[in-house]
Amino acid sequence: MGQGTNQAAPHPPNARAVEVGSGIHLDRLSKSFGSVRAVDDVSVTIRPGETVAILGPNGAGKSTTIDMMLGLTRPDTGSVTLFGQEPARAIAVGAIGAMLQSGGLINDLSVRELIDLLASLYPHPLPVDEVLQITGITDIAARRTQKLSGGQSQRVRFAAALVSNPALIVLDEPTVAMDVEARRGFWATMRRFTDSGKTVVFATHYLEEADAFADRIVLMSHGRVVADGPTTEIKARVGGRSIRFTLPEAEVEALQALPGVSAVDVKGETVRLTCTDSDAAIRGLIAGFAAARDVEISGAGLEAAFLELTSDDHDETDHTAGAPA
């Protein structure tokens, strides 16, 4: 492992510690808390180098799945292997880094002292100066942890997850306390991390983050996986397109009567048509509304897919049909 402090991305993991090529396997995980089935028969395989977003509404089972992945919660049934190892062993050798919602930073240490302390716990850590640079906290290295802002604390927690030089980093709502600029910087850092061949699993409520940065989305609802695939595939499962245009004094009833239109939303002079058949709708629009201008046609977004695939009606249908897992 090189010792320079100006590297743009972390060093490769110690190949002797884990079998990185074997990937991550969650096999039929289930977990209940009393009468609540938090996770229900979840199976997911993640290839080395993938960036995977776990999405779902509150109570979907995302955090419980992550806790079982990290060995923090024991599943009622099923098993987890991380690069050929049980979670505790993979973590002990420094192959796994995690940034979770729970927990905090140790008070009365400087940022550098904290990261240096954590580095001493692992057999093959990254140089502390390099970690500070990668995570953009060199300028606050001397500051006491209790004096940090929310966004600064998040970046320090990220440094704590990175210092072991992990092959996999797991992030649960990593940018929740960051402003827009800090979030952008965080994900720029993550791109450098994944460019070096590392694996990332993250849960987030920011759908645009998942759309922009994930290679693949695992969408959960009521403890089960209801969709698993690239963002384009998830969007395609919803189907339908929307037509957006400018039209002064739009007549909603006339627009609703267009062929292939399922819903009309008018805000000022901006109109959005939700379509079951966008080809028929655009022909009708052009023929009947000559004043329409600035016309745009787009496919379903991730938000639309998220809402439809996690709705109770869809969830019950998938359960009876055997939802993908």
Return the percent helix, strand and coil in the chain, to nearest 5: 35, 25, 35
User: What single DSSP character describes residue 123?
Assistant: S
The mean per-residue pLDDT over the stretch 110-138 comes to 94
- What is the tens place of the pLDDT at every residue in 50-73? 999 999 999 999 999 999 999 999
Residue among 275, 318, 315, 319 nearest 295 (CA): 275
- Confidence (pLDDT) at 12: 45
- What is the tens place of the pLDDT at every residue in 248-307? 999 999 999 999 999 999 999 999 998 888 899 999 999 999 999 999 998 777 887 888
Domains of the chain with CATH codes = 20-234 (3.40.50.300), 240-299 (3.30.70.920)
This prediction has a pTM of 0.75
- Confidence (pLDDT) at 239: 66
- What is the tens place of the pLDDT at every residue in 148-200? 998 889 889 999 999 999 999 999 988 887 888 888 888 888 888 888 888 99
Could you write out the DSSP letters of every residue in 208-247? HHHHHH-SEEEEEETTEEEEEE-HHHHHHHH--EEEEEE-
Instruction: Find tokens 């965080």 and name the residue.
Output: 186
Residue among 197, 199, 192 nearest 8 (CA): 192
Angstrom distance (rounded) from CA 319 to CA 324: 9
| AA identity, residue 282 | I
Residue pair 217/227 in contact (Cβ under 8 Å)? The answer is yes
